[in-house]
Amino acid sequence: MKKAFLTLEKAKEIDKEYSTPYHIYDEKSIIENVRAINKAFSWNKGFKEYFAVKANPNPFILQILKAEGCGMDCSSMSELVLSKAVGLDGNGIMFSSNATPASEYKYANKLGAIINLDDFTHVEFIKNVLGTLPKKMCLRYNPGGVFEVCNGIMDNPGDAKYGMSKEQMFEAMKILKGYGVEEFGIHAFLASNVLSDKYYPMLAKILFELAVEAHEVTGVNITFVNLSGGVGIPYKPEDEPCNIANIGEGVRKAYEEVIVPSSLGDVAVLTEMGRFVMGPYGALVTKAVHFKHIYKEYVGCDACAVNLMRPAMYGAYHHITILGKEDKPCDHKYDITGSLCENNDKFAIDRMLPEIEIGDFIYIHDTGAHGFSMGYNYNGKLRSKELLLKTGGEVQLIRRAETIEDYLRTFDCFDIFEKFDFEGSR
C-alpha cells in the first residue's frame, strides 16, 4: 500500500494559503533517507553522495542535503551556480556533463569541482580551455554492449551517448598524467531506475576491476570510484523497494574482493543518486476541476504535463491517492488529465480509483525527483509553486509559482507589453 504523506486535513489547511497545483516535499523523510544512505556506506572512509541536482534543483532542498553531508552532482552552468549558492565548491561538487561548453568547464574549474570527462576528445579540449588542469579528475566509462542485472533488468550502454571505451580511458589517463593530473576517479551509469539491490554491487565490481587494471596498465593513482545514479524507487504499489543497507553491504563485499587485495590502497566510493534520494518524498497535489464523459470517463485537474512530464514522456506510472478517500473502494475507472492540447497529457489512464468529486485533492505520488525539474512552458502553461513540509509540520513556500510576467520576460527585447493592459489576465 502506498501512503500519502499529506492527509486531507493538512491539504485543506495548506489550501487556505497556497492554492493547487503544487509540488510538496517531506523534509523529515528526506533526512531519514539520506542518513540511511550514509550509514549503509559508512564502512568506506571516503564515501560521499553527490545529489544529482537535475532531479530537484531547489536550493532549499540542496541545503537540507548539504547539511547531511551530501555534495552535488552538476551537469550544467545553472546547476553549478545553484550548488555554489548553497555554499558548495571544491570536492563538494562533481561536474558530470556531456557535449560540454568551454564556459562550463571554466566555471567548474574556478569552483574547484571534480570534473568528470565524458569523452576522449575532451582531454585536449579541456587542456586548451584551462591551460593548467586540476590535480584530481574523473573519467566516464561506457563498456558498450548490454548490461544485465541478474533479474533480467537490462540497459543498453552500447546505444548510450555517454562515456568512453576502456582503451580510450587508459589512453586518456596516460595523457592527463603527462599534463599533471595526479589523482583519478572512474564513473559509469549503466542502468536507470533499477529496483534491485544487486545493481550497485555489480557495477562496483566492474569499476573496481577496471580501476585495478587501469592502475596496472597506466600506473596512475585511482582514488575514487563513482557509481553515479540509477537506484530505483517503487513507483507501483506492487514494486519491492530497494534496501540501501543491503546495497551498501553488497558494494562492501565487492570492495573486499577486488580493492583490498590490490595495490590501490584506499578508494573512496561515491554515488550520485537523484531518484533514490528525493523521488518518494515529493508529491504533486492538484484538484479535480472538470468531468467529461464521452467514450471514456475523464477527470480534468488543475495540473498538467508541464508540472510532471514523466507519464506523458515515458508512459511512467505515478500512483494516485484521492485524499480523504484512502479507504474507499477503487471502483471507478478514470483517465486523469491536464489541460494541454496534447493527448498524452494524462497522469493516469484507465486507473481504478474511488469516485472523484469536483474539488477533490488528487495526490500524485513520487514526484520528488525528475518531477518539477522537467517542467516546461508548452501551451504557455506556468510552472507551479513548490512547498516544503518541514520536520515540525509547518509548510514553507520554497519557490513561488511562475507568473505571466515571468513568462513574458524574455520578450523584453520587444516593446509590445510595455503599455499592455494585463487586467483580468493575472
Asked if 356 and 332 count as a contact pair (C-beta separation under 8 A), the reply is: yes
Alpha helices in 6-70 (DSSP H): 8-17, 27-40, 59-67
Smallest gap from residue 94 Cβ to ligand PLP (A): 8
Smallest gap from residue 374 Cβ to ligand PLP (A): 11
**Contacting ligand PLP (CB under 6 A), which of 4, 11, 52, 207?**
52
- 11 vs 70, beta carbon nearer ligand PLP: 70
Asked if 320 and 365 count as a contact pair (C-beta separation under 8 A), the reply is: yes
Answer yes or no whether residue 273 interacts with ligand PLP by CB under 6 A: yes
Asked if 346 and 331 count as a contact pair (C-beta separation under 8 A), the reply is: no
Which range in 147-155, 177-185, 201-209, 223-231 contacts ligand PLP by CB under 6 A? 223-231
Asked if 335 and 311 count as a contact pair (C-beta separation under 8 A), the reply is: no
Cell of 426: 493575472
How many residues bind ligand PLP, per CB under 6 A? 19
**Contacting ligand PLP (CB under 6 A), which of 122, 136, 215, 275?**
275
Smallest gap from residue 92 Cβ to ligand PLP (A): 16
Please say whether the dihedral angle defined by the alpha carbons of residues 404, 406, 407 and 409, taken in this order, is positive or negative.
positive
- 231 vs 336, beta carbon nearer ligand PLP: 231
Which range in 125-133, 153-161, 165-173, 267-275 contacts ligand PLP by CB under 6 A? 267-275
DSSP 97-124: -SS--HHHHHHHHHTTPEEEE-STHHHH
Smallest gap from residue 51 Cβ to ligand PLP (A): 9
Smallest gap from residue 184 Cβ to ligand PLP (A): 17
Q: What residues pair up with 149 in beta bridges, in sequence order?
A: 153
Which range in 141-149, 215-223, 262-270, 272-280 contacts ligand PLP by CB under 6 A? 272-280
Which range in 15-23, 24-32, 177-185, 225-233 contacts ligand PLP by CB under 6 A? 225-233
Angle at 244 between CA 239 and CA 246, to 5 degrees: 100
CA torsion, points 385, 390, 394, 395, in degrees to nearest 10? Answer: 0
Smallest gap from residue 225 Cβ to ligand PLP (A): 14
Q: Please, which of residues 343-402 interact with ligand PLP by CB under 6 A?
A: 369
Residues 93-112 as x/- pattern, contact with ligand PLP by CB under 6 A: ---x----------------
Q: How far apart are CA 229 and CA 259, in angstroms?
A: 21
**Contacting ligand PLP (CB under 6 A), which of 230, 250, 354, 375?**
230
Three-state secondary structure call for residue 95: strand
CA 242 from centroid of its chain's CA atoms = 16
Residues 6+ apart with CB under 8 A from 377: 306, 383, 407
Beta strands in 199-357 (DSSP E): 221-226, 268-271, 282-293, 297-301, 320-322, 332-337, 346-353
- Residue identified by cell 473502494 is 329
Residues 176-205 as x/- pattern, contact with ligand PLP by CB under 6 A: -------------x--xx------------
Residue with nearest beta carbon to ligand PLP:
229
Give the interface with ligand PLP as residue ranges (CB under 6 A): 52, 54-55, 73, 75, 96, 189, 192-193, 228-231, 272-276, 369
